[in-house]
Amino acid sequence: MAGFLHLTQTARMANARIRAARDLEARWNALSPEQQEEARAEWSGAKEALAAVRTRLAAGPRGFVREFNAGLKGTELEPLPPPRPLGALVLELHGATNALREKLNAVE
């Protein structure tokens, strides 16, 4: 398990990438429809990566509350599948935002 400092740094990096993705979204929305078509593949990749990072950040440390409540009730639960590491999701978002930035710079 990652230490608190590592988790904090990863969350900070994720939030910085989310801000960068929002800035790129504003640039993408300002393009004409023809230019948006050229950058649509990069935009959809960035959007998917952004959604994955936001979902993972919202989930937090998964499973603890669920298992604690089940233990109080005395019920058995199937274990949750392990979530994808936040660091890996942030790296995907990093790559997607960089690809979108390069495409937007080329189109504009």
pLDDT, greater one: 6 or 80: 6
Residue 2 pLDDT greater than 70, yes or no: no
pLDDT for 1 equals: 47
Other CB atoms within 10 Å distance of the CB of residue 64: 9
* pLDDT, tens only, 64-90: 666 777 778 888 877 666 778 888 999
Q: Are 97 and 24 in contact (CB under 8 A)?
A: yes
Q: Report the C-alpha gap between 68 and 50 in whole angstroms.
A: 30
pTM attached to this predicted model: 0.73
Residue 3 pLDDT greater than 70, yes or no: no
Q: Report the C-alpha gap between 46 and 48 in whole angstroms.
A: 5
Q: Name the DSSP letter for residue 32.
A: -
* pLDDT, tens only, 20-50: 999 999 999 999 999 999 999 999 999 999 9
Identify the CA nearest to 66 among candidates 86, 85, 80, 83.
Answer: 80
